[in-house]
Amino acid sequence: MSRAIGLAIVLGLIHSPAAGASAATWEAALAAETDTVVFIAADGALWKAPFHLAVRETLWSPRGEEQLSRLRSSPDGPRVAWISRADDADTTRLWIGGRRQTAPRARYFAPEPRQFGSLHFEPRTPTVEDPDFDGARWLTPNAMVLRPSANPLAWLWDGSSVVFGTQDDLAVVAADSGRAREVCVALIIELHALDPTSLFLGRVMVQNQRGQIVEDWHLIYPFPGRWRLFPAFGLDPGRPWTASSTTVWWASGAKIRAVRVHDPAPTVEVESQDPVPWLHYDPSRRELQWAAGRRLFRRAEEGGAPSAIRGLGSEVQAVLEPRRGALRGLVTANSLLLWENGTDGVRALSLGGLSPVSLLMTRGGEAYVAARRPGRKGPVLARADTSRGVLAPIETPNVRGGLVYASPSGAYIVLAPAGPRVPETFQVYDTRSGTWTEVVNPGFSGWELLEPR
């Protein structure tokens, strides 16, 4: 990555009681974290500032009852798009900012599936349930914050334009200038970019053969002039998938299927003897890699017979993929296998009773794991000790329902409880000193990274 920019999101709902007197300030504890971020203040304003928040500038301020609904960082890093509205009867505003002066780029009515008999509700502001967020969230939604408006929003793979859904169609607007244009007449209620291809996956309200309006997943092809929808043939965000610039592969049970950017007809690429819980495209080798049963496999992007990379001893139960780096964590019954993509080297770490949840990497290549432990209310942080072949638990504050995220550089690991309110304090682990610090929350509930993906 050429540079590191982060986006921190601060939502309101701040507790009024003061934190403990011993807690450090965010500015002091995170002074070394200089990546540029955008905070959402308690009043909903956006501040552009270094991650340590020593200085700031106002990027955007809501008017009246207007609230932030969703936001997405651009895949190339420097910009962010967000949508806002006051309520479901109000028009939705699309904004783009970060590189140049913030400007409203479109105004429209959001999709409401209930108009077609579908019971669809989403949180009115960003939460842990946001699809495809790239950073951190701690707010969890409850019934009081659910709204019937859908919020489909995504970037084109190259960061040149933003794609969004309205009550009538799918539209696109260039990031720098120009008016939005309608590209497909369809009611799309969820949108996922299949980067690095130009394709999208959308959950669409369609009419079935009985004349009923139902929700179904479709592939969206941005053909010149008009974009077209094609059946997704089992691809949905919950399935393992990966992509090159020209092909999207996904696993359905023991089969791996694919579509090409020039051909929406799916093909069966691999028929395995065992279910495929994970697959990955390696651009350096131009090959597809996947786990099945007790082995890792590879195959050239263009096709051909699969070959085994190595055996694993036991079946892969989950795969942990960090935000940066070539390391992957393959979780088996008793071990965490750190597989370095590109070298095929595997280092086995004994779990020691831990159940890994996420893999966190520093820019220096150190690996940390957030894990669950039986009988404990909060997560445990552990260091990947490859010299001893173990996950070495770090004494971790017991935060019930806590979620763990790395700072933009990975030098700090931030722990706080997820819930309907913004936490008063964070527990921050400094990977260089090996110490925890309680830090007063200056008023945010997460962040969205603006590093190139």
**Can you tell me the distance from the alpha carbon of 120 to that of 260, in angstroms, rounded to the nearest whole number?**
31
Tokens matching residue 373: 């432990």
- The predicted pLDDT at position 6 comes to 39
- The predicted pLDDT at position 181 comes to 95
pTM listed for this prediction: 0.90
Q: How far is CA 332 from CA 274, 314, 323, 349, 386, in A?
A: 15, 6, 21, 10, 17
pLDDT band (50, 70, 90) for residue 4: very low
**Can you tell me the distance from the alpha carbon of 210 to that of 164, in angstroms, rounded to the nearest whole number?**
29
Query: Quick one: which of 415, 435, 413, 412 has its CA closest to 423?
Result: 415
pLDDT tens, residue by residue, 105-148: 999 999 999 888 888 999 999 899 998 898 889 999 999 999 99
**Can you tell me the distance from the alpha carbon of 388 to that of 46, in angstroms, rounded to the nearest whole number?**
46
pLDDT band (50, 70, 90) for residue 99: confident
**Contact (CB, 8 A) for 238 and 251:** no
Please measure the distance between the N-terminal and C-terminal CA atoms of the chain and give it in whole angstroms.
Answer: 8
pLDDT tens, residue by residue, 146-159: 999 999 999 999 99
Output DSSP code: residue 419.
B
**Can you tell me the distance from the alpha carbon of 375 to that of 113, in angstroms, rounded to the nearest whole number?**
42
Tokens matching residue 63: 């008017």
Average pLDDT over residues 291-305: 93
pLDDT tens, residue by residue, 405-450: 999 999 999 999 999 998 899 999 999 999 999 999 998 888 888 7
- Say whether pLDDT at 8 is over 60: no
Query: Quick one: which of 139, 167, 149, 176 has its CA closest to 15?
Result: 139
Tokens matching residue 327: 């390391």
Q: Hey, what domains does the chain have and what are their CATH numbers?
A: 8-240+316-448 (2.130.10)
- Say whether pLDDT at 19 is over 80: no
Output DSSP code: residue 45.
-
Average pLDDT over residues 223-251: 95
**Can you tell me the distance from the alpha carbon of 315 to that of 351, in angstroms, rounded to the nearest whole number?**
15
pLDDT tens, residue by residue, 48-84: 788 999 998 888 888 999 999 998 999 988 889 999 9
The sheet with strand 153-155 has its strands ordered as 153-155, 161-165, 170-174, 181-184
pLDDT band (50, 70, 90) for residue 20: low
- The predicted pLDDT at position 43 comes to 75
What percentage of the chain has pLDDT greater than the value 70? 95
Per the listing, tokens 């957030």 go with: 370
Residues 6+ apart with CB under 8 A from 85: 66, 67, 69, 91, 92, 93, 110, 149
Residue 374: cis peptide before it, omega within 30 degrees of 0: no
Q: How far is CA 232 from CA 204, 239, 252, 264, 266, in A?
A: 11, 12, 12, 9, 8
| Sequence-ordered strand ranges (E) for 54-197 | 57-60, 67-73, 80-85, 92-97, 103-108, 122-123, 135-137, 146-147, 153-155, 161-165, 170-174, 181-184, 187-193
- The predicted pLDDT at position 299 comes to 95
Report the run of H or E that residue 79 belongs to, with start and end.
none
**Can you tell me the distance from the alpha carbon of 223 to that of 171, in angstroms, rounded to the nearest whole number?**
13
**Can you tell me the distance from the alpha carbon of 346 to that of 101, in angstroms, rounded to the nearest whole number?**
47
pLDDT tens, residue by residue, 327-364: 899 999 999 999 887 777 889 999 999 999 999 999 88
| Sequence-ordered strand ranges (E) for 109-212 | 122-123, 135-137, 146-147, 153-155, 161-165, 170-174, 181-184, 187-193, 200-207
Average pLDDT over residues 160-177: 95
pLDDT band (50, 70, 90) for residue 21: low
Q: What is the mean pLDDT of the chain?
A: 89
More confident residue, 162 or 313: 162
